[in-house]
Every structure is written in structure tokens, then in C-alpha cells.
Amino acid sequence: MVYFDSAATSWPKPPEVWQAMEHFIKKVGASPGRAGHRRTVEANQMVDETRELLAELFNIGDHHRIIFTLNATDSLNLAIKGLLRPGDHVVTSSMEHNSVTRPLYTLASYGVEVTKVACDGQGNISVRDIEQAIKPNTKAIVMTHASNVTGTIMPAAEVGQIAAKHNIYFVMDAAQTAGVLDIDVQKLNISVLTFPGHKSLLGPPGTGGIYIREGVPLLTLREGGTGSGSETPTQPEMMPEKYESGTLNGVGVAGLGAGVKFLRRVGMKKIRDQEMNLTKRFLDGAARIQGLQVYGPQNVDDRVAVVSFRMDGYKASQVGERLDKEFDIACRAGLHCAPDAHRTLGTFEEKLIRFSFSYYNQPSEVDFALNALRQIAASRPPAVTTLPVK
Amino acid sequence: MVYFDSAATSWPKPPEVWQAMEHFIKKVGASPGRAGHRRTVEANQMVDETRELLAELFNIGDHHRIIFTLNATDSLNLAIKGLLRPGDHVVTSSMEHNSVTRPLYTLASYGVEVTKVACDGQGNISVRDIEQAIKPNTKAIVMTHASNVTGTIMPAAEVGQIAAKHNIYFVMDAAQTAGVLDIDVQKLNISVLTFPGHKSLLGPPGTGGIYIREGVPLLTLREGGTGSGSETPTQPEMMPEKYESGTLNGVGVAGLGAGVKFLRRVGMKKIRDQEMNLTKRFLDGAARIQGLQVYGPQNVDDRVAVVSFRMDGYKASQVGERLDKEFDIACRAGLHCAPDAHRTLGTFEEKLIRFSFSYYNQPSEVDFALNALRQIAASRPPAVTTLPVK
């Protein structure tokens, strides 16, 4: 099987990820932050270490300001609904995932004003357009770091500067970049960073996180048991307890920590280079397949390892089905939970096929897939020029 | 090590729980509900099967009305905040966990009126008091099925009848009962059932669920990618997608499914009998230790396998520390994230030590713990009658 769906969830995971999970579930087991016996102490140490690893990765001064969540969607709901109030204005892009657009759509019905800055047909946004969208009541810019459809890397540094200049918050969705691109929350002036644990950070599903810069007035969305500060009727103000209610996914966090350690050991640059070599190989090969059209930047420096394309004569779902059934290639055909992005590209009706590569993919797999696509292109059904007689 | 902290999270898990998780992370990996390749199809089947297993367990007609969440706290926040609106009145008990009291406290500041029905010193609630608390604007009763401090089983059937009679919703928190007590949502007239996956259902941490009866007008709290229905700006109305945004904890759900299968194979009655034998053994032994006072019902039929107690001459934390350090017994001393329950018992200041037993505990472990407590009681520091001269 060729797995080209790592933008949904990365696979395979490094062996140490499930080894850490196995150790946790078999030998630790306890709920971190609860009780004081040695099992919980070990669980606490593991959770704290994972927080520290992530803090170093993102250059976050105080690792307690990282909260573990269910997934990046959970993080984004907290970021968006916790921050914006009726009467606030928010600027976002036309390339966002539903995990941004849907919470904003909900808030719009409560009186939050939303401006979606239109991107071009390759998914690029104009920094000037973003700045021009800012109004006196603008509270935040909420934007992805890279499109999950075209792989286009957004100008995070410039957006961070605009946010600083206008004294507004910058919420960045790192769903496609955490673990592959350098993210320095201080340099990028990020107020709130949301990330999944199970994509390029190589942790298991059921993990995600959010960094909340000190002073960002985020309401809690999930209140409950916090292990410490239990006596108050409200959430404790202390971090991470304030936003981290209920039993943590300890086994998942153990795996996430191991994933981040793998990243550090191998080196993010090496991983990024491998992914972009695969991406370039695919882009070069795809350019020579007649009737195959790739969306997003041609220059691999401007994108992550996510490539979406269409093929003449086929619906995206037909190509996806043939890749799966005839070639055992796992990819994703459809809207990729980002209908706005597809509207921007003009592919909302037709939809696209998406390949996403990981460090574990091989050049031979790319060649195999290119060959499959060549065969599919060659066996294209003839266009119907006359209707059959009934 | 003796693990008596299964009310926080059960440990150990049946071997098949880890085996199912290992299979998922090594061999399946894909994100259920996303794409259509065979890996996601296998992930979907596993998730669907787990939903069906839970639906059978709780006698839920349509398994799609079960949603997977991060934990029971996540479920309760959805249940409570999704249901109650300013001006609504809600009835709850004085024995609730912070996962109920804190969301209600938050809602109170938005104009939701909360009545906490006082329980007695053993954690028992009067059904009559509950009915008398109902007012014309009462929308729901939110109540735990069993206290996580005293183990007291609450009168769910009677509460369900009251809810039906008054045409209000019944939200039941099954944190301490899902997997050990029979829960039939139809017989109990439950509108919304919330449960953790990692306690008596024997799944891993990072899993929880919520059942939402058809017609219960629950707003979504977490919006985002749903895999299907991606084209609409709002969440799809379809279940489970409406409430299940973002990448599911597939590996956790796989483990949860295996946990429920274990329950079915062994039989919940056998598990409950084993747990209550251990509980009775402990209660009988504890009654003979001078200065040790147990809270909650003496009759094991009226409780689950959670026992809290105090010891003369000690703070709860001192006992917990000695049990851990000298005897390697893992238990939980403190407020158990349920300050209201401790206020009800009169133990808010002193706090309590909690033992919670699982199917995997042995009578010899109970005897070992009783012996440890006897030693601790015997080595009680003498009460200070005169201050030492400085």
C-alpha cells in the first residue's frame, strides 16, 4: 500500500511513538495531574516533558502555556470562540479549513463580523489586502500557516508584523506545518498557535494542542476537573489547568512526545528536504501527464508536501477510487474539509485529488503513483459527443 | 504496586485493548470518515462497530446518536452548554463532580438558574426534594449516576420518571457507572448520557462519549471538519457528524471497542460481583480499624466500588503519601474534583482518602491495604497536648 494521505493523519508513525504508548498503557496507566502516587508522578513527568519539547520546538518561553486538546479543531474552537465577542471584527483568508470557517460562521450569528480576504487561484494571499481589511474593531487575524489543499505557505511573518503594528491578535493554524516548518511564536508574533499532534508532529490521533500567549483574554470552553485548584467554583487561573479539564489523553501525549523526540533526532530540515524532494519529483512528473493539472505553487519552497490536482475527463472521486482499487494508493479526493479553498481555486464543483507525502514515503512510491496516473489518463473515457438513443 | 485509583482511570486494561490499539496504529492508521481508500474504510468499520457495541450496552436504538469525545468532561460541557439557555432553570445535586458544577457555574453568569438539591451525609438524595425543586422554567435535571467520592448510587430510575412526568430533559453523568451498572437509556428515560471511555469501559484515556436522544436541541460546541457534508458553512445535521468535528481519536476508539468487547465476554455481572466483593471485604475490614471512618452507604448494593474514608490524627494527604511511599498503594487523597460533595459530607477542609477497585484487583490486595491502614492507624502521632518549649 502506498499511503499519500499524511495531511489527514500521518502514517506510519516512528516505532518509538507506539513504544511510548505501549509503555504508558502497560506500565504507567495513571491519570496525570490527579492524585500524588508514583504512577501519577511518572505520568506528570511525561506530560511535562512533552510540553517542554513542544515549547522548545515553537520557542515558547513558558511551556505551561501549551494546552493538550483532542485535535487541532478542538484547539481552533477554543482559540476562536474563546477570543472573539459580539461586535468584534476578525480577518481571515479564503483558503481556510472548516475548522476555522465553521466556528467563525457560528460566531457571525452572534454578531462577530468576519472578513475573508480572497486569495488567488494558486492559494496565495496578498499581505496588503490583509492590512487593508483591518478596521477599528478588528480584534484578530485568524489564518492557516499553509493550505491543506494547495500546500501554499502563507506569509506568516508579514501577518505577524501587521498584527503587531495594529495591536491585534494573530491566531495561527499550524495543522499542515507544525513539525515541518520553523515556527517561532516570538519571531512570528503569534498570539495563539493551534496544532494537531497526529500529522507532522508524528503523534497518534486524539492529540492536539494550543499555545496561548500570556495576556490573551481567552475564555474557557471546557470546564471541569483540573486535579489541582479543585476547591474553586471556577476554573483555576493557573496554566495549564485553566484550559485543560478532564482526564488527559495520557497515552496519546506519550506518543506525541516520542514523535517530537524523533523530529529532533532526525532533524526537521532533513524531514522537510525529504518531503520536498518527493513533492518536486511528483510535480515534475505530473507536469508531463497530459490532462493533469496541479494547483498551488510550482516552486517547492513556497509549499508544503500537499499537492492537489485534477484530471481531464474524470471526477476527482473517480480518480481516487481507481488509485485505491487498482493501485492500492491511499489519497484523498473531495473538498478536503475546505470548501472556501475550493471556491477560491474554482474547483468547488469538480473537487480535487490530493496527495500528501511524509518522511516515510519513497521516491519509488511517487514513481509508481505517476505511472498509475499515466495509465488512468491514457484510459480516459472518450467525451460523450452524442447522446445515446433511448 | 497495588492500584486502587480506577475511579480516576482504570488500570490495568485487558490485553486486547492494547492489542487493538497496536493494530490500529501499525496497520490501519488512517483517519476515519475522511477519504474513501481502504484504510479509512477499515477505520470507519472499527469506529462504527464500537458505536454499535456502546449502543447495545446502553440500549440505544440508533448508534449514530453516540458521539466520541475527548473525555466525559468534554461530553458534559457539550450536554450542559449545548442545552441550557439564559432564563432556563436546571436541577442538580450537591454530590456532583466539577465537570458538572463548573459548566453550570459558568452558565449561571449567563442567566441560567441552578438549584443544587442537598444530599445527606452519606451522599443520598431525596427524590421528593428533586421533584420539589422543579419550576415552570426548569429545562433539565443534570445528575451523576453514582458519586465519585462516596460511591453512592443515585436513584436514576426515579429521576427519569420525574423528568418524563414534567417533560424536562434528564442528563446523566455515567462517569462511575458506565461498564458496571446496567444503563438502559430508554427505561431510565435518559435524554443525554455522558460517559468516559477509560474508566469501567476499560478503554484508553483520551476517549469519552455522549448519547443525544433524538429531538434534544443541543447546540454544537465544536465545529469544523466532518469529512462529509463539507460544502455547507454550518455543521451537517447528520449524526454523528454534527457533533464530531476534527480527527477522531481512532486509536483510542479501537481500544475502547476492545474494552467493551471484554465487558461483554466476561459479563458485567461478574465484573460487578468481583468489584463489590472487594468493596465489601474492604468495608468489613475498615470497620474494625479504630479511628477510620468510611463515608457512603454500608450496603454494597447501594454503591459502586469507590470508597472514601478519613483517619483520626491524619490529614488525608498524609495517609495517601504513606500508602504510596511505604506500601506502594496508589490511591487518591484530596477533594476528588468534587468540592460540593465534600461540603455535603463535611470533609471539605479535611478531605478524604479514596480507594477505588477494579475487576483486576485481588482480595489479597485489599488485605494488604487493610494491614497498611492498621499500621498507619497504630503509628498515629499523639495529639499535641502541650506545646514544645522553644
Query: What's the distance, CA B219 to chain centroid?
Result: 23
pLDDT tier for residue A390 given thresholds of 50, 70 and 90: low
The per-residue pLDDT of chain A, averaged, comes to: 96
**Within-domain flag for B314:** yes
Q: Is B173 exposed, middle or buried (0-12, 13-18, 19+ CB in 10 A)?
A: buried
Q: What residues does B66 pair with on adjacent strands?
A: B211
pLDDT tier for residue B227 given thresholds of 50, 70 and 90: confident
Percent above pLDDT 70 for chain B: 97
- C-alpha cell of B42? 477499515
Residues B208 and B89 in one domain: yes
pLDDT tens for A31-56 read: 887 767 888 999 999 999 999 999 99
Distance from the first to the final alpha carbon of chain B: 42
**Within-domain flag for B389:** no
pLDDT tier for residue B383 given thresholds of 50, 70 and 90: low
Q: Mutation test of the interface with chain B: which of A96, A102, A210, choosing the one with the most B Cβ atoms within 10 A?
A: A102
Residues B287 and B181 in one domain: no
Cβ proximity of A145 and A161 under 8 Å: no
Cβ of A102 within 8 Å of Cβ of B76? The answer is no
Residue B353, helix vs strand vs coil: strand
Which pLDDT score, from 0 to 100, does residue A57 have? Answer: 98
Point out the domain boundary residue: B266, B285, B319: B266
Q: Give CA–CA dist B274/B261, Å, rounded.
A: 18
Residues A210 and A319 in one domain: no
pLDDT tens for A73-125 read: 999 999 999 999 999 999 999 999 999 999 999 999 999 999 999 999 999 99
Residue A208, helix vs strand vs coil: strand
pLDDT tens for B2-16 read: 999 999 999 999 999
Q: How many CB atoms lie within 10 A of CB A190?
A: 26
pLDDT at B127 over 70: yes
Chain B residues whose beta carbon lies within 8 Å of the beta carbon of residue A204:
25, 249, 251
Q: How many CB atoms lie within 10 A of CB A324?
A: 21
CA-nearest of A255, A321, A342 to A68 is: A255
Residues A106 and A235 in one domain: yes
**Within-domain flag for B384:** no
**Within-domain flag for A289:** yes
Which pLDDT score, from 0 to 100, does residue A34 have? Answer: 72
Q: Which helix (H) or strand (E) holds A261?
A: helix A250-266
CATH of the domain at A43: 3.40.640.10
pLDDT tens for A339-386 read: 999 999 999 999 999 999 999 999 999 999 999 999 999 998 776 555
How far is CA A14 from each of CA A46, A255, A358, B146, rounded to the nearest angstrom?
18, 10, 12, 41
Cβ proximity of A132 and B249 under 8 Å: no
Residue in A closest to B242 by C-alpha: A102
CATH of the domain at A367: 3.90.1150.10
Point out the domain boundary residue: A219, A240, A266: A266
pLDDT tier for residue B145 given thresholds of 50, 70 and 90: very high
Which pLDDT score, from 0 to 100, does residue A384 have? Answer: 58
Average confidence (pLDDT) over B190-196: 98
- C-alpha cell of A25? 498503557
Which pLDDT score, from 0 to 100, does residue B238 have? Answer: 95
Cβ of B97 within 8 Å of Cβ of A225? The answer is yes
Residues B41 and B100 in one domain: yes
Q: Where are the beta strands (DSSP E) in chain A?
A: 2-3, 66-69, 89-93, 113-117, 138-144, 169-173, 192-196, 208-212, 292-295, 306-311, 329-330, 332-334, 352-356
Residues A204 and A73 in one domain: yes
More confident residue, B95 or A230: B95
pLDDT at B193 over 80: yes
Question: C-alpha dihedral over A13, A15, A18, A21, to 10 degrees?
Answer: -120
Query: What's the distance, CA B318 to chain centroid?
Result: 26
Distance from the first to the final alpha carbon of chain A: 42
pLDDT tens for B250-278 read: 999 999 999 999 999 999 999 999 999 99
Which pLDDT score, from 0 to 100, does residue A30 have? Answer: 86
Residue numbers of the domain that contains A282: 2-9+267-378
Cβ of A35 within 8 Å of Cβ of B333? The answer is yes
- Nearest CB among A5, A31, A105 relative to B9 is that of A31
Residues A95 and A198 in one domain: yes
Question: What's the ipTM?
Answer: 0.96
Number of domains comprising chain B: 2
Residues A31 and A145 in one domain: yes
Residues A71 and A166 in one domain: yes
Average confidence (pLDDT) over B341-347: 96
Q: Give CA–CA dist A345/A121, Å, rounded.
A: 5
CA-nearest of B143, B131, B214, B130 to B172 is: B143
Residues A259 and A296 in one domain: no
pLDDT at B389 over 70: no
With b for 16 or more beta-carbon neighbours within 10 A and e for fewer, the A361-382 pattern comes to beeebbeebbebbbebbeeeee
Residue A334, helix vs strand vs coil: strand
pLDDT at A212 over 80: yes
Residues A92 and A216 in one domain: yes
**Within-domain flag for B388:** no
The per-residue pLDDT of chain B, averaged, comes to: 96
Residues 192-251 of A with CB under 8 A from B: 196, 198, 204-208, 220-227, 230-235, 245-251
Chain B residues whose beta carbon lies within 8 Å of the beta carbon of residue A224:
73, 76-77, 97-99, 102-103, 337
Residues A124 and A239 in one domain: yes
